[in-house]
Structure 1
Amino acid sequence: MTDQERQFLAAVREVLEEAGFSESAAGAEGVHTVQHARGVMVGWMPEELRSVRARRRGPRRSRNTGRKDLPGLRHAFGLALAAAFRNAGFTVETRGDEWLLVLQPEHQPEL
């Protein structure tokens, strides 16, 4: 990782902290960051979703009772985080319902 990438990741983490979200440990519930060729991916893994995914892999696949409010929670979380990053001057792209891509300045589209 270059110095520029380290500084960018630190800036992304600072926005998360200021918005009230600290990065979680790998495998734990909460906010996660992942390096991407164009920036940093930011996502959220709630405890409820982790247990739903674990059940899907188990033998009781047909008895999946996943919570129906998670898509709404994910959407609200994504909107809040995207607003925080945009207010801090970053360009953000959505990646499905689970991730935001915070673009590094050299990967931002020309206006």
Structure 2
Amino acid sequence: MNDHQDDLYPRVRAVLTATGFEEIATGDEGVHLIHHARGVMVGWMPTQLSPAPVQADLPGLRHAFTLALAATLRAAGLTVETHDDQWLLVLDTHHTPD
């Protein structure tokens, strides 16, 4: 991991926290951040939705939430790739492939 990646993770966390998408501390639900070789992966595990959506609605809800996360991160000047409506990759623009 390089210095740029060390700076990126807290920056992503700060942007999400400031806009109400706080990372979940424990458990399976909520927003998750994971270190990645090219940056930071951001994902969302929905639970405790009220009223509970039917299973057919979950892909649409996940898509909308992912769009909102991506828009928030891009508005903060970060470069974001979408991966299957499940995860976002916030890119370390200083990353150089091996």
Stretches of structure 1 lacking an aligned partner (at least 5 in a row): 49-65
Asked whether the equivalents of residues 26 and 32 of structure 1 are also in contact (C-alpha less than 8 Å), the reply is no
Task: Tell me the amino acid that sits aligned with residue 105 of structure 1.
Answer: T
Deviation track 1:41-72 (CA, whole Å, cap 9, x = no partner) reads 00000126xxxxxxxxxxxxxxxxx6111111
Which one has the bigger helix percentage? Answer: 1
Give me the TM-score of the superposition, normalised by structure 1. Answer: 0.73
Across the aligned residues of Structure 1 and Structure 2, the Cα RMSD in angstroms comes to 1.9
Greater C-alpha radius of gyration: 1
Stretches of structure 2 lacking an aligned partner (at least 5 in a row): 49-53
Asked whether the equivalents of residues 34 and 42 of structure 1 are also in contact (C-alpha less than 8 Å), the reply is yes
Large movers: runs of 4+ above 4 Å: none
Counterpart in 2 of 1:27?
Answer: 27
| Identical counterparts, % of pairs | 60
Alignment of 1:73 with 2:61, yes or no, is yes
Shift of 1:76: 0.6
Asked whether the equivalents of residues 82 and 89 of structure 2 are also in contact (C-alpha less than 8 Å), the reply is yes
